[in-house]
Structure 1
Amino acid sequence: MTTPTAFVRYYDVISADGTKLRAWTNDAEGPVVLVSNGLGTNPHAWPSLLNPGCGVRVISWNHRGTGGSARPVDNRVDLDAFVEDAVAIMDDAGVATATVVSWSAGVTVAFELAGRYPERVNGILAVAGVPGNTFATMLAPIKVPPFIAKRLMVGLARSGGWSGPVIAPITKRIPWTNATANMLRWSRLINPAADVGELRTLLQEFCTTHPSWYAKLAIGVSEHQRVSLSSIAVPATFLSGKWDMLTGARDMLSASKRVEGSRYRELASTHFIPVEFPEIVMEELELLLDRVHA
């Protein structure tokens, strides 16, 4: 079976504080979907949404300082800034309301956007992420207590800030070939179900950004506590991974229970659900859109 050719068109959008964002779209026909991506990741995390015949029009952006987006002059990378960036992308596209497809830390952005601007969000697909306090859910499969997990992972992110100059020359020189991408699949850090070509493209672009900047993005998100779900009144679906070391399935189930009428599904996957099981992501998005438009 021939895999459809992925299509991405990039363009620039200016956010509320003047930061230039590298926006992207699949230019497809269908309901509008705003992708709130994982920190520093790129369009190639979503192979199911890059097919021009996927049936949804995707709009999104690369986070500040990554993938062609500029670093803000004041280095502002916090939840307020990410929500402003999401609004800027929607306004530029002339989109009044959209279904938000989110992954990892992007789930926090999605729910915060829905809480602040309920008229702008008509549904949320939360993939491998929880609404706030993300770092406390990490290491759940090995049963690390939340308060210890948060301290460990925040400490790791902070160490990434000062060790970045040492790591950067290494990450930039990693030859992301089918062989090196396969090493991750064989190690089970990423589920072997992931397509090797799509995984290679995702990692290739991910490694073009300095590790210290990724650490700064992560710390910016870690400072935000749990997002209130009491005001969320739109259809929502939570997709969790049983072997996800970065977002515990138990915490995603807990979040799902706090959103009335939400759907929860757990997969035999790691944190990288969008690239491991793109068909299931698309299947769940279609089900969610049916609920949105019902």
Structure 2
Amino acid sequence: MRTPPSATAAASPIAYYDVLSDDGTVLRAWTNDPDGRIDGPTVVLCNGLATTAWSWPALLSSDCEVRVVSWNHRGTGGSERPADPTAVGVDHFVEDALSVMDHFGITKTVLVGWSMGVNTMFELAAAHPERVSGLFAVAGVPGNVFAGLLGPLGIPAPVTRIVAQSWSRSLRRVGPLLSPLTRRLPISEWTIHAISRTGLIGRMADTELAALALAEFLTTPVDWYFHLALRSADHRFASLRRIKVPVQFVGGTFDLLSSSRRMASAAAQLADAEVLELRASHFIPLEQPDRVHRLLVDFVARVNAPAQRP
């Protein structure tokens, strides 16, 4: 039995739209401000792989201060699978982001990325600098994603990459057998509490909403998720020298999926970048939503400040 929507989700203003990407794939896009009531700047969210709006509690609030536009990845959350099943790499996600921006009439804005979405937003900024004014990166780095796994454990990057690739290929193969089981898992607040006790995730700010986020995530077939992960993890970011806009990295001390050390290394190669490490796991938007939200609002204000001066 799945958990019912939390009070936060039930009261959220999220609205969904069909957006056609360049290759004909229909995407499920969404915004937290369908009626244009938020008196604040717009940001485009490049979300974590196969995650949804429910992974960002602070963005569901009526006093969010920023208008958020995003979409669900190909083959997840109501978005179609592409006609070509290999068309699910970072370059395709960039095209999807541009299609969503065009649909909502966004010419240039701050991009927000979480996890694998950080790859997407960095590649978009490098390929289309005229569309990006700043990058807000949460628990992710550009390129070579698998190398950052198990960072707090001190395992060498080449080893983690090999292990992650092997594990992902195995799960992709057996995914058709696992998916009927994962879809039927009983997800509730107790599930979230139980996972938290393992140390894999931290304490959730809203356990009901976290349960809803997990339930939505598990609707994606296991084989398709790991197909997406393997295709997008193959991406190699060319050079951080191509990034000329301000960047804010937000990492988690206990993040087993994306190393804070690699974020610091990336920041050191950028002209205008800061790194903040929080006592959190990979799921920072769910564990510390208010802190992340305030950091985002402040970052957007800093990025937009020059344009506001007379």
Runs of 4+ off more than 3 Å: 2-5
Counterpart of 2:308 in structure 1 is none
The 8 Å contact of residues 140 and 245 in structure 1, kept in 2 or not, is answered as yes
Q: Residue 189 of structure 1: CA displacement?
A: 1.4
- Whether 1:140 aligns to 2:140 is no
The 8 Å contact of residues 8 and 209 in structure 2, kept in 1 or not, is answered as no
SS of aligned partner of 1:230:
helix
- Whether 1:178 aligns to 2:189 is yes
Counterpart of 2:283 in structure 1 is 272
Counterpart of 1:189 in structure 2 is 200
Counterpart of 1:6 in structure 2 is 12
TM-score (norm: length of structure 2) = 0.92
Gaps of 5+ in 1: none
SS of aligned partner of 1:126:
strand
SS of aligned partner of 1:58:
strand
- Whether 1:129 aligns to 2:135 is no
The 8 Å contact of residues 185 and 194 in structure 1, kept in 2 or not, is answered as no
- Whether 1:31 aligns to 2:41 is yes
What do residues 156-203 of structure 1 show as CA deviations (whole Å, max 9, x unaligned)?
111111110121122111111111121112222110143211110100
In the TM superposition, 1:1-294 aligns within 5 A as 5-27=11-33, 28-29=37-38, 30-75=40-85, 76-294=87-305
The 8 Å contact of residues 26 and 49 in structure 1, kept in 2 or not, is answered as yes
Q: Residue 19 of structure 1: CA displacement?
A: 0.2
The 8 Å contact of residues 114 and 121 in structure 1, kept in 2 or not, is answered as yes
SS of aligned partner of 1:123:
strand
Partners of 2:94 and 2:21 lie apart in 1 by: 10
Partners of 1:19 and 1:101 lie apart in 2 by: 23
The 8 Å contact of residues 65 and 297 in structure 2, kept in 1 or not, is answered as no
Amino acid at match of 1:70: E
Q: Residue 138 of structure 1: CA displacement?
A: 0.7
Structure 1 residues 145 and 223: CA distance shift in structure 2, 3 A: same
Partners of 2:238 and 2:203 lie apart in 1 by: 33
Partners of 1:255 and 1:78 lie apart in 2 by: 21
SS of aligned partner of 1:85:
helix
The 8 Å contact of residues 114 and 138 in structure 2, kept in 1 or not, is answered as yes
Structure 1 residues 11 and 3: CA distance shift in structure 2, 3 A: closer
What do residues 244-273 of structure 1 show as CA deviations (whole Å, max 9, x unaligned)?
111011101111111212111001111000
Q: Residue 227 of structure 1: CA displacement?
A: 4.3
The 8 Å contact of residues 108 and 227 in structure 1, kept in 2 or not, is answered as no
TM-score (norm: length of structure 1) = 0.97
What do residues 227-254 of structure 1 show as CA deviations (whole Å, max 9, x unaligned)?
4210211111000011111101110111
Amino acid at match of 1:24: W
The 8 Å contact of residues 111 and 227 in structure 1, kept in 2 or not, is answered as no
Amino acid at match of 2:46: S
% identity of equivalent residues: 44
Partners of 1:58 and 1:227 lie apart in 2 by: 28
Partners of 2:24 and 2:70 lie apart in 1 by: 17
SS of aligned partner of 2:242:
coil
Report how many residues are paired: 293
Gaps of 5+ in 2: 1-6, 306-310
RMSD across aligned positions (CA): 1.3
